Structure 1
Amino acid sequence: MKQLRYGGLLLLTILLAGCGEETYLNRVKEQGKLVVVTRNAPTTYYVDRDGKTGFEYDLVSAFADDLGVELELMVRNNPAEILSLLEEGKVDLAAASLTRTEQRKDRYRFSDSYQQVTQQVVCRRGGAYPEEPEDLVGLSLTVPSETSYVDQLQRLQEEVPELTWEVDAEHDTEYLLERVWRRKLDCTVADSNIVKVNQRYMPELLVRFDISKPQPLAWAMPAEAHGLQSAVNNWLSGFRDDGVLEHLINKYYGFIEVFDYVDTRAFKRKVKRVLPTYKAMFQAAGRKYGIDWILLAAQAYQESHWDRLARSPTGVRGIMMLTRTTAREVGVSSRLDPEQSIMGGAKYLANLLGRLPDEISEPDRTWIALAAYNVGMGHVYDARKLAREQGMDPNLWHEFREVLPLLSQKKYYKDLRYGYARGSEPVRYVRRIRNYHDMLLQALKVE
């Protein structure tokens, strides 16, 4: 009899647990909205000229669309505030570049990971130069409260008892990175993805050393959100398998290359001193040919560093570095005339955009057209053919760019119509333009 009673209670517990799972997810669907908290930061959510954007925003928007509910967004400054909202049951999900740690798993439910990051000690060029945890002793070191940085520093403190730090309960990682950049702090700790993005705006920031192994980023949910957790993981699995997650990561991080301090400093100086001379010309060309003028300016910087007299060993000249043949095609009589060069370069890029197949959508269309500007449309056609042969999608830049370097290998180019090409160059070319474009957007926002 006791065994029957025990079995009945166990079955009832399982049924109630299952009911709870469905109840939470059903409540979200019945309310018709998913309440999400995030941070206003370059790696999560922000508003640009085209409206709301950001890696986490795009990701969680896609999930809300899949559920068929409206996304209701709440923005908070730091992990402490974000986790507090989860504790109070005021939000369904936190999409804020949170690290999934053992300590947090005891209090919240987490999704599967969608990105890996490493915690790094960040200081300023010309400032403190710690090379290992022992060197942090005596430095002014501050991190945001309720972060995985605190957990990691506590583990380091077991090895280095003299290690101390301050905890900021009001501000986020980006704010503290700026404090380091402004010499108000010696150092802070930040995730590697946050460091990469912010180094482009504050080039004096330097990574001194890593203090963690790669760690998973994941969405956090209230402890009772069993059903929502399952729904997120099922959706995320399909999102990853379909290649959409990789495409999204490429959109926000694919153009960030190895940090170049000298180049970034030079670029920032020329934005202030040189760009104003040509800004109206880029804007006029952009209006005429329907191309983002900031993208044209970024491309011109990659081509010539905005030097109207620029000349390459191969004979291309001017701000947009046009060949003689291209200049004739677009009606440019003097490649050294900056207005003619900018207008001619924009016309040529517009022509390339128009020659691509209709099935290529933005922003991939622009990246592939820029590759054609660098290597020639013939080689782009060859690479598209090769991509299909390799089982890659020639309409997606993050797959197409994997194929371009193969154009320099004889076993691939020998059967292609246009033959050999230095296929790695257009990949670097597009990556640098995207990097300059992003830095230019930020610089113009500050003006």
Structure 2
Amino acid sequence: MKKKQLSIFLRYAVPVLLAAMSISCMRNKKKTSTSDFPQIMERDTLRVLTLNTSISYFIYRDQPMGYHYEMISDFCNKHGLIPEVVLAHNSEALVSMLNNNKGDVIAYNVPVDNTLKDSLLYCGLSEISHQVLVQRAERGDTLLKDVTQLIGKEVYVKSGTKYYDRLVNLNEELGGGIIIKDVDKDTIVEEDLIRMVANREIDYTIADEHVARLNKTYFRNIDVSLVVSFDQRSSWAVRKNTPILADSLNRWFARVNIEPTYQRITKRYFEEAKRFERGGISSFVTFLKPGQISSFDHYFKQYGKKIGIDWRLLASIAYYESSFDPQSRAWTGAGGVMGLMPVTAANFGVKGNLLYDPEKNIKAGTEYLKTLLVSFSSVKDSMEQVKMALAAYNGGIGHVFDARALAEKYGADKDRWDGNVEKYLQLKRLEQYYEDPVCKMGYFRGDETIEYVRNVMDLWGVYKTKIKD
């Protein structure tokens, strides 16, 4: 059994290691000779400059994701190219790295600036965006419909950002009256303020339209419809001396803009809900009948016993992954009763439509969870080991390894989840942590994984109380 688990783990670990190499090594790649699209086609690789953010590129469930990453991947697929991600530290560095031939294309929203037209060709994905007000839209809330209604209201923005500058200018345009609350903290980022609005900690903030729309898929109780700035055109970009690549990207975007692929990717990131929202544990725990959680209990018991995992823990995971729906499919692409990524399922012999076969999905999910538990075998406390494995199941094992490395580096307990590894997983949304040398997997939005671990553990506790094994 141990040899089989080791074999499975090694097969599973390969994409994680490759993704880590993509993030940690590409930053230091040596300068290559300038080349246009024909030379890029010859080498079969397109070097893609982008940022490690929730919009552009990130690793989740050990798979590369992101709106800009998926769009440039579609371009690459249509031309038989492999996208090689090269990460920049910030948006200003993107242009510098492009001009220094560190990459072939910037796949990110670069503001169209006439002063850069001597060195850049704006091409490919092109959009018009603006800044919007983020406000709550729950029952009883009064939505602001016009910027003049901001007079007398407290709006929280981080100092030194374009949002702060825009709010100051808007306040001057209105003759004063907006109460600008300056958030001067290194541990607060744009998406934290949006979360604070959703959680009723503050009433208003300002964000880019795309960031606000993406966060609305996490927080359904916010409104992002009120525009507070002028329109700004943004685009991908290539060097001035690669006009054939620019033309190829423009031709691709002209086609994809009306294809289902574009609509699918856009819907995935800016429309599909990304949080599993429930009330308190006591408000939703139901049973088919006394002693039975779901219609798949016999599979949970069968494979739980065979592999050595409490079947009620498997049922708890299945509830949060799919609500026991064998045809369930998440925005990430995870599917079936146990919410497995297709690549992960394939590593356990479940390929194609077999992902939606309840028995095969549950068997693969149980084997996968066991593999994760084994990977945290150095954690001696069994409950802490389960929490680490659940975090890896939801967010990806690489990010949990990063959080444990950060915890150890900064004097926390890498073998304890609550307040330790959990804390550093959440801090991986901040640049100073996800770019720490001990981290291999880059940016991570940890709140959902932390919530997942807490909810699954709580539900497992209820099941253990109600149903004796």
Q: State the TM-score, normalized to the length of structure 1.
A: 0.47
Structure number with greater CO (CA < 8 Å, separation at least 6) is 2
Q: State the TM-score, normalized to the length of structure 2.
A: 0.45
